[in-house]
Structure 1
Amino acid sequence: MNEPARSLKIQLLTAAFLVLMAAGCVDEDARENLVITGSTTVLPAVERCGEAFNLAQEEIGVQVSSGGSGRGIQDVASGLADVGMASREVKDSEVRQFGDHFVEHLIGYDAIAVVVSREIYDAGVIGLSSEEISEIYSGEVDNWKAVGGPDELILPVARVPGSGTGDTFNEMIMGSSRAETEGVEVNAMENAEIKTLIVQSDKAIGYLGIGYAKTGDLAAVALDGVTPSAETVKNRTYKLSRPLYLYTWNGTSETEAEFIDFVLGPEGQRIMEEEGFFPASISGPEGPG
C-alpha cells in the first residue's frame, strides 16, 4: 500500500473510532443517574444490586458510596443523594432538623454480631451477656479474666458517632444511643475497619454487621446465650437484630422506585441473603424487635 493510501486508511479508521467513542459517550450521558449514599452495613448488598441493575437496563445508572447511616439520611434530605441507605430508622432529631419528608423502604434485616479476636474465643470466651458487654464498653471491666477469658487487657473497638450500627448497639446494650462508652479505646469509621482492627489484635472486642463476621480470623460470640441466625432474627430472640432501609425524600420518583423494586425483587433479595442479610419478608408487621 502506498503512503497516501495508508494515510487515508489511518484517517478513516481514526474517524470511525471517534464516532464510536462519541456514540458511547452519548449513551452513557443519556442514562439518568441515581445517587445512593449511606450505611456501610447495607453498602455491599446495595452496591451489588446496583451493578446487577445497571447491567439489566440502560436508562438508569446507579452510583453507590458509603459514609454511614447519618450521612445517607442527611444526603437524601439535602438533595446530595437520591436514596439514603440506613441500618436504623430516622431519628426524631433528624426529622426536626430536616423535616418530616422521609419515605421509608424496608429492604431486609441484619443482626449485629459481637465479635472477638480469635485468640480470645479459643481461650474460652464463646459467649457474653448484655451486662458483661455493657461493663466492658463502660470501662467497668477491662480484663478478659473477669468474663472467663485469659489474663489480658481488653481492647474495645466501637463505631464513630452517626453510625447506625453504633447507635443500635448503644441503645440495645448500653441503654441509650448517646450512652457514654468510656471503655472504648479505638473508634472506627466503618464495619470493614472494625473487622481489620479485631483481626490484627489478639485481645479485641467489637461489633459489626453479621455479613462482615462470616469470614476472616475473628469469631462471633453468643449474646445472652443466643447466636445470630435467620431463625433467631425472625423470632426476635437475638437481641441485636435490626431492620435495614432505603430512604427517599418527599415521595419516591419512578426512577427511585424502579431500583427499590429491583432490590425487593427475587434477584435483589437473593443478593441480600448472599451478603449475610435476611429477606424483608421474614418478619411480621412489628418487625424483629
Structure 2
Amino acid sequence: MKNLIHSLIISCTLLGLYGCIGIRFSESDIATFQQKPQATDSQAQNIIKVGGSSSTTTVLKLLAKEYQAKNPQVKVDFTTNSQSEGAIASLKSNIIDIVGSSHKLKPEENNGQIQSRELATDLLLVATHSSVKGVTNLTTQQLQAIYRGDITNWQQLGGPNAKIVVLDRPEDESAKKLLRKYYLGKEKTTTKAVILNKEGELIDTLQSTPYTIGAFSLATSVINQLPVNRLSLNGISPKIENFTNGKYQMVRHIEIIWSKKPSPSTQDFIDFVFSQEGSKILDKNGFVPAK
C-alpha cells in the first residue's frame, strides 16, 4: 500500500499536478491506509444470496434468521424477485445462490448444473378482514359466486350489510392456480377484483381494508398472528391436521433450488434447512416439513 501511494505521488509530480490538486500524504495518513481492513475472498463467500417467488420468502427468511443467529459470520441477502422463473435464471447465471420456488423445477429450466428438493408444504387459506362478522364457512358454489361477482354483499352470506371487496392474484401465481384447481375452476373472475402482484401486498391490504376477502399462506397467518378471519371451506377448516388426514387439499409445495457445486457457506445453509432443527422450525410455524 505504501509503495502504491508513493507511486501515485511521483506520477502526479511528473505531470505537474501535484501542487495544483493539493494532494498531501503524511506518514500518519499512510499508516491509516495500511491499517484499514480490506475485503477478502473468504468474507465475500460468507454472503448467501437468495431469491424466488414472494410466496416462498416467509419460510426462507424464517430459516435464515435462525441460521444467522447461530452463524453470525454469514449474511443471507434476499433479492426482490417476485417470480421463481426469474430467480432460476439468476441462479443459472451465478447471480444468486439459492431459489425458493412454488413449483417443481421444470425440465426446460434445468441446465444440468442445478438441483432441487422439496422443503415444505404450506396450506393456502381463504380469509376475510376482521370486520366480516357472521361468515365462517363458504361452500365451493359461494366462493365461485364471490369471485365471479354474482354475490357482492356480505349480507347475502349472513354477514354485515357491506360490499364484498375481492383481493386477487395474477393468474400465473401459485395462489390463484390453487384456487382454480380446488374451488374456482374455469369461472371468470370479476373485473372489480383488486389484483395484487405480491402475496405480502394482498396480506397487508386484507388486514387494513374492511370487508375484504383473499387467499394466502396459512403459515404467514400463524407466524404473524394475523387478526383475520380464517374461513372453513365446505365445512373443512384450514388446519394442518386436516391436511395430514386428507380432508384439506389446497396446499402449496415449496421447493429449494441451488447449484450442484455450491459454495461452502451455501451448502452449510442448505444442510441446516433440511436438518431436524430446520424441520422443527417449520413445524412450529405452521409449515409441514417434506419427508
| TM-score normalised by L of structure 1 | 0.76
* Residue deviations 1:187-228 (CA, integer Å, cap 9, x gap): 112222112211222211001101232323321111111112
Name the residue aligned to 2:54.
40
Aligned to 1:131: 141
Which among 152, 157, 178 is matched to residue 147 of structure 1?
157
> SS of 1:247's equivalent?
strand
Q: Could you tell me whether the CA contact under 8 Å between 1:157 and 1:184 is conserved in 2?
A: no
Task: Report deviation, 1:155.
Answer: 0.5
- Go from structure 1 to structure 2 and tell me whether the alpha carbon gap of 1:78 and 1:139 turns closer, same or farther (over 3 Å shift): farther
- The question of 1:225 aligning with 2:235 is answered yes
Matched-pair contact (CA < 8 Å) for 1:36–1:62: yes
Preserved contact between residue 159 and residue 190 of structure 1 (Cα < 8 Å): yes
**Any conservation in 1 of the 2:129–2:206 contact (CA below 8 Å)?**
yes
**Given that residues 51 and 100 in structure 2 are in contact (C-alpha distance below 8 angstroms), is that contact kept between their aligned partners in structure 1?**
yes
Contact 1:138 1:184 in 2 (8 A): no
Q: Which runs of 4+ in 1 moved over 6 A?
A: none
Gaps of 5+ in 2: 1-27
Instruction: Measure, in 1, the Cα distance between the counterparts of 2:96 and 2:78.
Output: 10
Kept in 1: contact 2:219–2:286 (CA 8 A): yes
Count the aligned residue pairs.
260
User: Which residue matches 1:85?
Assistant: 100
Distance change >3 Å, CA 54–CA 103, structure 1 → 2: same
CA distance in 2, matches of 1:161, 1:76: 25
Partner of 1:266 in structure 2?
276
Aligned-partner Cα distance in 2 for 1:54–1:150: 46
**What letter matches 1:89 in structure 2?**
K
Paired residue for 2:220? 212
How far apart in 2 are the matches of 1:200 and 1:37? 27
Distance 1:76 1:110 in 2: 24
Secondary structure in 2 aligned to 1:107? Answer: strand
Counterpart residue type for residue 187 of structure 1: I
Indicate whether 1:181 and 2:189 are aligned: yes
Give the match for residue 115 of structure 1. 127
Q: Find out whether 1:238 has 2:248 as its counterpart.
A: yes
Q: Percent identity?
A: 20
CA distance in 2, matches of 1:232, 1:32: 41
1:16 to 1:244, Cα distance in 2 relative to 1, 3 A: same
SS at structure 2 position matched to 1:189: coil
> d(CA) in 2 for partners of 1:246 and 1:203?
36
- 2:180 is the counterpart of 1:166: no
Query: What is the distance in 1 between the residues matched to 2:179 and 2:119?
Result: 20
Q: Is the 8 A contact 2:231 2:238 kept in 1?
A: no
Quote the Cα distance in structure 1 between the aligned partners of 2:99 and 2:241.
28
Instruction: Name the aligned partner's letter for residue 253 of structure 1.
Output: P
Question: CA–CA distance in 2 between the matches of 1:271 and 1:55?
Answer: 13
- Cα distance 1:219–1:183, how it changes in 2: closer, same or farther (>3 A)? farther
For structure 1, the residue ranges without an aligned partner over 5 or more in a row are: 1-10, 282-289
TM-score by length of 2: 0.75
Q: Distance in 1 between matches of 2:44 and 2:269?
A: 17
- The answer to whether 1:156 aligns with 2:166 is yes
Q: Alignment partner of 1:41: what SS? A: helix
Alignment pair present for 1:197 and 2:205: yes
How well do the aligned residues superpose, as a CA RMSD in angstroms? 3.1
User: Does 2:91 match 1:76?
Assistant: yes
Note the C-alpha offset of 1:95.
Answer: 4.3
Given the superposition, is the C-alpha separation of residues 274 and 65 from structure 1 closer, same or farther in structure 2, using an over 3 Å criterion?
farther
Q: Does the 8 Å CA contact 1:69/1:86 hold for their aligned counterparts?
A: yes
When structure 1 is superposed on structure 2, of 59-68 and 144-153 the one drifting more is 59-68
Deviates more, 1:107-116 or 1:69-78: 69-78
* 1:118 match: secondary structure: coil
Match of 2:11 in 1: none
User: Matched residue of 2:288: which SS?
Assistant: coil
